[in-house]
Chains A and B, each alone.
Chain A
Amino acid sequence: MDPEIYLDHAASTPVRAVARDAWLEAVATHHANPTGAHRAARAARRALDDARDVLAEALGRPPAEVVFTSGGSEADNLAIRGVLAARAGVAVCSAGEHHAVLEPVEHAGGVTVGLDDRGRVTPAALRGVLASVHNVSLVSLIAVNNETGAVNDLPALAEVVRAEAPGALIHTDAVQAVSWVDLAEATADIDLVSITGHKLGGPTGTGALFVRESVELDAQILGGGQERGRRAGTPDVAGAVACAAAIEATVGGRDAEVLRIAALRDRLLDGLRAALGDRVVPTLLGRGHDDEVAAGILHLCVVGVDAEALLFLLDAEGVRASAASSCSSGAQDPSHVLAAMGVDRRLARGSLRLSLGHTSTDADVDGALGIIPAAVERLAARGGG
């Protein structure tokens, strides 16, 4: 295999050594079902609850709020379907949500709020929708957009919900946010929060939904009543332990890491613009530490080339990136997020998401700058793909 320049951390980031070691130790140690009554079971239960404490601490919430899930999509589905099953009313979400939120909301006949041209939900837009929809029971707003890196101002948006729809619960899909945003602060007034392990350096298949204890939520997986009746199924102890190790490392090093990654991202964008000029149209302009754009995601459109063709050439040269989100076949789907921001569909065909993470280095940026502009020029010269 050729040397790899991995720029797809927003899709999945490499497992951290601490998480891998924690997972290996936990699978070797805890053979029992944590819901059992004997010593081995209690040991497993203890490991699970220690992991629960770590997750709770990372988000500044009580441990009893943590419901372990198989990842972000399950957490989102549990939040939306679980709340709507327990209380009548309409769900509202932003047009830029991940499909794990958008689909359950649309399936339930919910309503969407548009995005501004910076990919965010504005308080005014949210107020407008909430004022026109009766009996809103749930509002779901993504914390950091997975395609563009746009950061929603959750405290300000929560304030709008409390004023306009006082009976509604608020959920946020914070799957992309843990690495870049202080969620203890940003989600202080949020009732339900989804996270996943594999965007932090934990294993895929791990994650959690934080649910305020007072929230009525119907379990979507029924069975043995695990996770306080909110999610049945034998808990994945090793997965939870590894996820906890990953989130501890992520949150502990976050402030410094945001600055380090933002500097890499800025250099990557500057280099691409220097080489390609107007051919590069950044979707959002984050600089350094920025409250509006996550440090790890550089989304841009390359004028006159087709993203699929560009990704093909980049892959052949070792650069792993993506256009936006991939559909189940592996093809690139036109982005609903860019459409909601009003990005021209033709420009969006050249959509490229370069995302950085904990293993990213200066060498990755140098390597990418050595490959991407040349690939773009070559492709453009041959008709764009």
Chain B
Amino acid sequence: MEAFQKIHPLEFYRKFLERSVRPDGRSLTDIRKTTLSVGSITTCSGSSFVKIGNTSVVCGIRAEVGEPPSINQTGIVSNQSKNHSYIFVNVELGPICSNAFSSSKPSEKAMSLGTQLNALINRLDIPTTDFYFDNEGKARWYLYVDIYCLDYDGNITDASIIAMLSALKNVTLQQGIIVEPNQYFKDSEQPTRKLSIQNNYFIPLSFAVIDDYILSDPCLEEEKLSSGQITITFNENQEICLLLYTGTNGIADDHLKKCIQLTKNRFDFINKLVNENNS
């Protein structure tokens, strides 16, 4: 049977899918066990570790101080300053997680995922005052969110989004002291504060399309065989924050509807998972 799987992986999968089951024993809509732990890394302001099945990612947030661009400048800057972002997300898919990635050049997957996460972050609508370093906001905190994949077994998008959100909720920022311009110090005697994103959630779920079957939470093998990928992310108001379908075959509306419904079903689980770890 192993030989069959190696030589004709797609045929092998079809035999299972006809019976609505996957080789690892899951049904088509089953999602692998998802666990989350928060704050395990001590050297950064906020961190989280997410595991979905074998896929595991660690997310750390580094807070640095800088002066924001002056708003008084004319024209285009005012337009940008509206969307001036204080959070920068980066996804690292290094050779440590899979030999499909090289260390010299960031992979296409990592770059596009990074772009998507950066766009998602802006939808959290965190007030600018949250990033003030001192009271007046002369200097601001800039957060660098780095997501490292440790084990790549498919569905990295879901893991990254959960990790990013729970790490952001874990961030503690300190009040700062500016001694001279460009000399910033943390004041450890002042109380720390958190970002005001307490009621916001992202509920992500990804799917792989093999023939006419839609598989929730695909593993690496399924992702490789799939002809299309769907990623849906909801927020707490059940609005779509990110929906992405790419594939070599088209997809019907009904399939998308089904996927959206499945994502909604995951709402309570993620909600509970993130809340439990951040209380």
The yes or no verdict on A and B being binding partners is no
